[in-house]
Amino acid sequence: MKALVELVARSLVDHPEAVDVRVAESPHATVVELQVAPDDVGKVIGRGGRVIKAIRALARAAATRSGKRVSVEILRP
């Protein structure tokens, strides 16, 4: 899960070295926290939130196998 979100985020931003992905797991859910450079936040969110919605959909699809719920959050720098 972490690798998937990190790969997608790094391919979208101008400063891929600033991408930081952390995962917090509980028995029933997983929270993926994504932090990018301040200049790249708009690129990860996208117009109207389309890009982050797509990232969340990919993460949910990848988590379906494990039977867990997943959420992707963007942390503000």
- The 10s digit of each residue's pLDDT in 8-26 is 999 999 999 999 999 998 8
pLDDT at 4: 93
Q: What is the DSSP string of 13-66?
A: -S-GGG-EEEEEE-SSEEEEEEE--GGGHHHHH-GGGHHHHHHHHHHHHHHGGG
Q: Global pTM?
A: 0.90
Sign of the Cα torsion 8, 13, 16, 19 reads negative
- At the topology level, CATH places domain 2-75 in GMP Synthetase; Chain A, domain 3 (3.30.300)
Domain boundaries, the chain: 2-75
- The 10s digit of each residue's pLDDT in 33-77 is 999 999 999 999 999 999 999 999 999 998 888 788 999 999 987
